[in-house]
Amino acid sequence: MARLQKVSIERRSIRKYRSFFNANELKRFNPLRKELNGKRILHVNATPIGGGVAEMLQTLIPLQDDIGLKSDWYVIDAPARFFVITKEIHNGLQGKQFTLKKSDLDFYRSVNRELGTALSKMNYDIAVIHDPQPMALIGSYHQPPMISRIHIDLSSPDRKLLKFLYPYLSAYEKTVFSLKAFAPKGLRNDQIVVLPPAIDPLNKKNQAFGLQKSRKMLKKLGLNICRPIVSQVSRFDPWKNPLGVVEAYQKTKKQIPDVQLILMGIRRAKDDPEAVKIYKQVEKATKGDPDIHLFHDAKQLAPYTNEEVVNAIQVASDIILQLSIREGFGLTVTEAMWKGSVVIGGPAAGIRSQITDQKDGFIASTPSVAAKDMVRILKHPKSEAKIGKAAQKTVRSKHLITHQLLAHLELYKDALTG
């Protein structure tokens, strides 16, 4: 039996975020806020913590609420089998050959039917349904306007799977993609909205700690802070390419023997049952190297929290890697850029849209290219000072939660006025 479970939100005040709006944005924001006052907005996704969608909703929902929209956030409570199936759907949409059986797809549909029925008893002006897990609920609940938001990389989906999901996707009045190139053929132009995600500059993860404090924390977690540190902070997921990160590190180590690697992917998202398997592969591939530090369980972070350690790693690492092969948009990239860190991203379309190569970070098409970049940067760290500053500027201009909030108000207005 599946149901929708309400997420309790921590209050946030828009006043604290005012300085992140520019004058032009404020001019658009104030009338919209008045016009939408009292509207009831629902967001549904798979998990309340772990992963970028939950990360963004944790701030977007309370800010919407604070400015007068009645905003609720629900997640899916369903049997474990559902999340195994939806992770396969996620992987199929990102390009893995799709192998689910008819009985699995029937199960996916039946859970969504229950979610749609649960939604029918609620009363909202707009529902925003995130990613494929709850997408098919529109089959049993369709009270326009309904918005689908796809956070994943749809650049080369399995065609059979896309055909299966398309009737659901195309039933939404609007669908938000992180990049225009992700929109499947067949959707009308007025159904497609392009909006990359954003970070909260004021949450515990992004109010950057000082370098000294961050280094001290990493020392406590077992790192040698007198030696170089390169890190990737990401769920243990094949598309995030942790084995590619290990390969890039091993190639770098041949030239910079004292380099250390952190791979942090604390298992928190209930919609990612694959993480254990991938973690074990990485553990096997890295056995015997004391300079590789794997963090997969929150207990390993004591006395610090997940947010504090992500913050410290993104501040104190010499290089942040995100060598993803597929990525709709990597919040970890933006988080590290916001802290002025040097980021090397992988070839995924989403990451290419976040980093301008050699200007505010680097794009490495393969682990070997990433290794060459790492050697150069670690040998001449001062030459990259400009990159960190440019990275902060990029995030400030387009990837903060204030831009996201304003874009959502515009989206709601458009959806309500047809």
Q: Which residues contribute to the site for ligand UDP (CB under 6 A)?
A: 51-52, 55, 205, 233-235, 264-266, 306, 310, 330-332, 335
Cβ closest to ligand UDP, residue 78 vs residue 348: 348
The residue with its CB nearest to ligand UDP is 52
Residue with smaller CB distance to ligand UDP, 126 or 294 = 294
Provide the minimum distance between the beta carbon of 305 and ligand UDP in the complex, in angstroms, as a whole number.
Answer: 9
CA-based nearest residue to 369, from 381, 382, 357: 357
Alpha helix stretches (DSSP H) within 170-291: 211-220, 242-255, 275-286
* Three-state secondary structure call for residue 363: strand
Strand partners, 192: 175
Shortest Å distance, C-beta 118 to ligand UDP: 25
Query: DSSP letters along 107-129, please?
Result: HHHHHHHHHHHHHHTS--SEEEE
| Distance in Å, CB of 396 to ligand UDP, minimum | 18
Task: Decide whether 147 or 320 has the Cβ nearer to ligand UDP.
Answer: 320
CB-CB neighbours of 156 under 10 Å: 12
**Alpha-carbon dihedral of residues 128, 129, 131, 137, nearest 10 degrees?**
-160
Judged by beta carbon, residue 175 or residue 306, the one nearer ligand UDP is: 306
What is the closest distance, in whole angstroms, from the C-beta atom of residue 231 to ligand UDP in the complex?
11
User: Smallest distance, Å, CB 33 to ligand UDP?
Assistant: 26
The radius of gyration of the chain's CA atoms, rounded to the nearest angstrom, is 21
Q: Which is nearer to ligand UDP, 65 or 272 (CB)?
A: 272
Q: Residue 364 or 378: which CB sits closer to ligand UDP?
A: 364
* Nearest-approach distance from CB 295 to ligand UDP, in angstroms: 7
Q: How far apart, in whole angstroms, are the C-alpha atoms of residue 140 and residue 142?
A: 7
Q: How far is CA 318 from CA 110, 146, 381, in A?
A: 48, 44, 8
> Which residue, 55 or 247, is less far from ligand UDP as judged by CB?
55
- For the bound state, the minimum distance from the C-beta of residue 1 to ligand UDP, rounded and expressed in Å, comes to 27
Residue 360 CB, shortest distance to ligand UDP, in Å, is 17
Q: How many CA atoms lie within 13 A of 1 on its CB side?
A: 2
How far apart are the C-alpha atoms of 113 and 295, rounded to whole Å? 38
Question: Between 107 and 295, whose beta carbon lies closer to ligand UDP?
Answer: 295
- Strand (E) or helix (H) holding 175: strand 174-177
Instruction: Please give the C-alpha separations between residue 325 and each of 14, 129, 133, 348, in angstroms, as whole numbers.
Output: 36, 25, 22, 5
